[in-house]
Amino acid sequence: MMGPAHSLSGAAAWLGVGAAAAAAGHPMPWPVLLVGALICAGAALAPDLDHKAATISRSFGPVSRWLCEIVDKLSYAVYKATKKPGDPRRSGGHRTLTHTWLWAVLIGAGCSVTAIAVDRWGVLAILFVHMVLAIEGLLWRAARGSSSDVLVWLLAATSAWILADILDQPGQGSDWLFTAPGQEYLWLGLPVVLGALVHDLGDALTVSGCPVLWPIPVGRKRWYPVGPPKAMRFRAGSWVELKVLMPVFMVLGGVGGAVALNVI
């Protein structure tokens, strides 16, 4: 899928989690629902850091272009080192290492640890990175162009600062789900994991599938491309994605959000 569909599916997924959490007796304060949805929308772009043309690789100027090259090389090296006889030859690392459940868990755990260990600046950094991605993903063409980059960064920095202040207030969600002292913001890793997994799921629906199970082998393959039967797959950016999936994500997200906030 393309950036906007990935971001929308990420936001919708977190709003769905909000509805489930409310049903399970852990209702999210509204800042957790909002911030989580934005982080998840941003995190749903992150796995494509292995692709030069992806939204995330252009979102932070030279820093992300440089990171993208490293991630591509690393992914390709891991692919070559761990492939089984049934895995095809490849020429690059796109849709390999960063498109696995293990990567999702590691990135999410990394964010949780950063939020706890580095405290306020850690939380701000996580919020800032994901706000930039959420803005780029959800506004897409409107946020594109080199001159708008600085505006996107400023908007993301401002909203990260404001949202962190709101979350810090008592009862507004810094201790949602994990309530013991010292566990504030531990939950920040959850929308990060979820976003990456939703991205993998979205890619699995497209023609080439997604090796989300790695390193668990399936038959003669360790990079088994998970996906539905060929006839049910679609091309990235096709009408199914734009005219069917994106409106569905919006409706599901709206319903999830309403349930999560107890409006319906």
Q: Which is nearer to Zn ion, 103 or 185 (CB)?
A: 103
Residue 96 or residue 174: which is nearer to Zn ion going by CB?
Answer: 96
Do 151 and 59 meet the contact criterion of CB atoms below 8 Å apart? no
Beta carbon nearer to Zn ion, 18 or 227: 227
User: Which lies closer to Zn ion via its Cβ, residue 48 or residue 72?
Assistant: 48
For 84-121, b/e burial (b = at least 16 CB within 10 A) is eeebeeeeebbbbbbbbbebbeebbeebbebbbeeeee
Q: Measured from the CB of residue 54, what is the shortest distance to Zn ion in angstroms?
A: 7
Closest contact distance (angstroms) between CB of 134 and Zn ion is: 17
- Report the amino acid identity of residue 13: A
Interacting residue ranges for Zn ion, rule: CB under 5 A: 47-48, 203
Is residue 151 within 8 A of residue 188, CB to CB? The reply is: no
What is the CB-side half-sphere exposure of residue 143 using CA atoms within 13 A? 25
The answer to whether the CB of 31 falls within 8 A of the CB of 123 is no
Minimum distance of Zn ion from residue 46's CB (angstroms): 9
Q: Minimum distance from CB of 189 to Zn ion (Å)?
A: 20
